[in-house]
Amino acid sequence: MPHQKYNACIEACNSCALACNHCAASCLQEQDVKMMARCIALDMDCAQICTLAATAMARDSEHAKAICAVCADICQSCGEECAKHAMEHCQECAKACHRCAKECRKMAAMV
């Protein structure tokens, strides 16, 4: 299967999407939801692009590298925002985002 060469990136994208969805849902339960608005918005963007990237790689889409390059940028932004918040769900999300950004950059650079 041609997509097997992308397995590490697909796994990172899927894990990141799950972490972002969990983070967004958890942020909505925080006392000051308004303070978490940017985090929630980035979580939703990140989860969506990670799902798209994983799907594109699984299909060996001709656009997978371009999608992964954009995914890396969005994951980086989301990870930086989540890292600003002390809550465990945000810290875990930040780790998943940074790992995904790294894997997506590697995938986008493949020849």
pLDDT of residue 38: 97
The one-digit pLDDT tens for each residue of the chain (111 residues) are 556 889 999 999 999 999 999 999 999 999 999 999 999 999 999 999 999 999 999 999 999 999 999 999 999 999 999 999 999 999 999 999 999 999 999 999 986
CB within 8 Å of 86: residues ≥ 6 apart: none
Please list the helix, strand and coil fractions of the chain in percent, rounded to the nearest 5, in that order: 85, 0, 15
For residue 58 the two structure tokens come to 């699984």
Q: What is the pTM of this model?
A: 0.95
User: Cα torsion for 5, 9, 11, 13, to the nearest 10°?
Assistant: -150
Query: Which residue segments constitute the domains of the chain, with CATH numbers given?
Result: 2-108 (1.20.1270.360)
pLDDT of residue 19: 98
Give pLDDT, residue 110.
84
